[in-house]
Amino acid sequence: MTPQPSGKPIVDKNRIASLIFNQASAMGIADRARIEQITARIIERLEKPAAALPGMEAFVTPQARVSIAVTEDEIENLVKDAVEGVKSAGSAVQPSTGSGRTDVIEVPKPPIPPPPVAAAAPKTSKQEKNMPAATRNTKSEARKPKTEIRNIIPERVELSANALAVLEKRYLKKDKAGNPVEKAEDMLRRVARTVAAAELSYDPKINIRAVEDEFYGLLARLEFLPNSPTLMNAGRELGQLSACFVLPIDDAIESIFDAVKHTAMIHKSGGGTGFSFSRLRPEKDRVGSTGGVASGPVSFMRAFDVATDVIKQGGTRRGANMAILSVDHPDIERFIKAKQTAGVLTNFNLSVAVTDAFMEAVRANGEYDLINPHNGEIVEKKKARDIFDQIVNLAWKTGDPGVVFIDRINAGNPTPHLGKIESTNPCGEQPLLPYESCNLGSINLSKMTKGNGRKSIDYDRLGYTVRTAVRFLDDVIDVNKFPLPQIAERTRQTRKIGLGVMGFADLLIDLGIAYDSPEALEAAEEVMGFIQAESHKASEELAASRGTFPAYEKSVYDGRVKMRNASCTTIAPTGTLSIIAGCSSGIEPHFALCFTRNIMDGTKMVEVNPYFQRASVEGGFFSKEMMEKLAAGAHLEDFKEVPEAAKKLFVTAHNITPEGHVKMQAVFQKYTDNAVSKTVNFPADATVADVDKVYLMAFDEGLKGITIYRDGCKADQPMSTGKAEVKPEAAAPAAPAKPMGPRERAKVTTGFTEKVKTGCGNMYITINTDSTGICEVFSHLGKAGGCATAQLESTCRLASLALRSGVPIDDVAKQLKGIRCPSIAWDNGKSVLSCADAIATVLENYINSGLSVKLEGKAEVNGNGNGNGHGEKKVIKDFGIVKNVAGQCVDCGSILVYQEGCFICPGCGFTKC
């Protein structure tokens, strides 16, 4: 038989089987039974109907089905992959076949870092334990590519309209009038040229244009993107390229306000900051130099919050902060409750630094010591479970505080001789020493597949991307213009980089794997294990040519393996980057399949996830009406016309159990040097006990920290899942109520007037009461006139009408609290978001002053999660009403979503981190 051309599809099954058999024999496999097994598996795989997306064959229309067809080149690759899969002593996750089975032949399993081995030079067990898994065996080699990866440079960068809008608003260089003076290609070329220049210091004769082209190709193909400050500032006057920093705060007024000043400088340059306030003496502790008493960590946090609020980050967004307090600090309870009042510490994420000893005490229902950091004295003993309950209750109610497992973080500290790690960056994924910074970057996993229809992971391209990205990030450190000399010195000592990923949810869909399946966990382990091994290998190679990081001696690597970078991997938030790259965010599942975006002319447009749109069109169940309903909060499982296979594959964040989120984070943490930024989503009817269980599970699963978000936990939540509220069983119908109406205003009333600073000037708010209770509210705003005065009067009239009609004061206050206008002010250390927010604050002050009539308590009812509609009463400590002040994007008005521990706008890329 005359051989067919290698590029022509072969449809004869016997011919295909013969070619597979011959190819396997040519590769040196002598075992006939083994060859037959490989042949049978490949034939079986090829005979399956080809769907537009793997795992969804069940609902592809008959016209879309394709009979068996394959080229000789494809057969050769299939056999090579199958053979290497056997050699690697395991098989990688493959797209679901729709029958509940998983294929094991197309993608060879990458090497997972081996366990520790004995070293030539003796080291302590602690050093052995602290060494990252990927470097414990220096003889393990990362997977070598079978084929050379070409640096294909696209003529133009393929960007969505949304990505272009984000770039024009936040990243591209502009003239004095605010008009962009560069295109996306110019921006990426600017970044590549600036970063590549670092190579000249290591090799003056290097072909710098080739290095620049290699970096540019990686960026222009959207296979890798560095953190936002690098895109914004590289090649420009500011030149600050790092995303996150940690600053020290010592127990001295000079140190505290030096840190405030340094925070402003960092935020101005485009970075975020983390702090540990654990060194500050507690509230009311005696200050020897003045004879006065200390105000405590929480009060000083407000100074940092105010400074952040008035500094625009790099001219593009407000800065973000992380505040951490040790669980054994005497002010820990004040810290836990610090954000229970709306408008307070809005620029901070809060996390409690939890020790292993504390967690053991929680489990044993034991006590632990609160210690004054100023003198080391034990102040008192506390029941660990009581403090843990407060953390859990507030997290259930507001999402804050999170926890960081600080002992586990320090167990992974690669440079313990430089000091202990006390804090992380604002989103918690980057533990850092004081004055350290880290430059981050993310690989777009949605670009790391190969094949048509049935896709598999392209480990050759992934390996190339990892190695090039590590080199890029190491170069960033050399060309970076750091905001402080202390930061430059410490960063260059350790040379930490943080290579992470985005597009993981898209990758799973390409592979036909549901996010909440065991196969997804296996895929995560293999992909991140491969990236970890490759990144450490790349750092070793850089160390051989450029030298180790200066603090290498006495580090956990000393005497075992030479490393260029003290750490290599971090899973960071990629909200805005993922919009530019056109992929899902970080390792998060898709938050929604459809969302509504506000266009600049005021119209709204429904945007559909491209994977879901493609599948729905090709599967024959696309409709505009369904997409609009999904954008409005409906769930895919509500639509009968959608096949079960699609419902299973296209799961979103709120379809996944909290335990599922924790397990996924744990897998990525296993192969990440630093930490993982991820949100554990809870349904609205989750109980406090559910959150308690997940916090304990996070500790048991090896996480370094955890952030949770319960749907509806904030009154003006960014984006709801659309589920109906779980309510207690309805009581029997009552008799028709008497029509409501306001009581008459008394001729003589008593009251008080309070002055409040607002963004529009001083505001004077008067509260008057009669014999029944509060009867009216009126206010005057400085010298304002026109619409402002009219709107303020209408607000007060309606509030007064409601109060005289029997509406409880706290309900009126809740409706006004958190309303935000563009002008924010600070009054007595608290933010005033608007005039309405100011009225709410005065009403709350009236309630809390004891002047008001006694309000009857309300039972807290939580759904018990059993789906029968009957709630269960649960005793919950009342930490006050909290409302989210960021329901809508302040830039475009679209609804914000909460992912990776941060609010982000999918419409324009605005982020609060």
Burial class (CB in 10 A: 0-12, 13-18, 19+), 340: middle
Nearest CA among 594, 589, 705, 715 for reference residue 654:
589
828 carries an active-site annotation: no
Q: Cβ(164)–Cβ(156) under 8 Å?
A: no
Distance CA 90, CA 522 (A): 12
Q: Is the dihedral of CA 529, 531, 537, 539 positive or negative?
A: negative
Q: Where are the beta strands (DSSP E) in 724-807?
A: 750-758, 761-769, 774-781
Which is nearest to 772 in space by CA: 808, 733, 719? 808
First to last CA, the chain: 65
What number of CA atoms fall less than 13 Å from residue 41's CA on the CB side?
20
User: What is the SS3 assignment for 268?
Assistant: helix
Query: Among the options 77, 321, 425, 681, which is catalytic?
Result: 425
Q: Give the DSSP letter of residue 449.
A: E
Residue in 429, 436, 522, 844 annotated catalytic = 429
CB environment 579-609: b (16+ within 10 A), e (fewer): bbbbbbbbbbbbbbbbbbbbeeeeeeeebbb
CB atoms within 10 A of CB 144: 7
Beta strands in 683-781 (DSSP E): 705-710, 750-758, 761-769, 774-781
**Position 288, amino acid:** G
Whether 427 is catalytic is yes
Identity at 854, one-letter amino acid code = K
CB 258 within 8 Å of CB 273:
no
Cα-based angle 760, 766, 768 (whole degrees, multiple of 5): 160
Identify whether 393 is a catalytic site residue. Answer: no
Question: Catalytic pick from 212, 413, 427, 796?
Answer: 427
Instruction: Extract the tokens encoding 143.
Output: 């997977």
Q: Is 448 in contact with 507 (CB distance < 8 Å)?
A: yes
Report the alpha-carbon distance of residue 490 to residue 831 in Å, rounded.
Answer: 35
Whole-angstrom Cα distance, residue 273 to residue 347? Answer: 11
Chain position carrying tokens 């993310």: 442
Q: Are 494 and 433 in contact (CB under 8 A)?
A: yes
* Residues designated as active site: 425, 427, 429
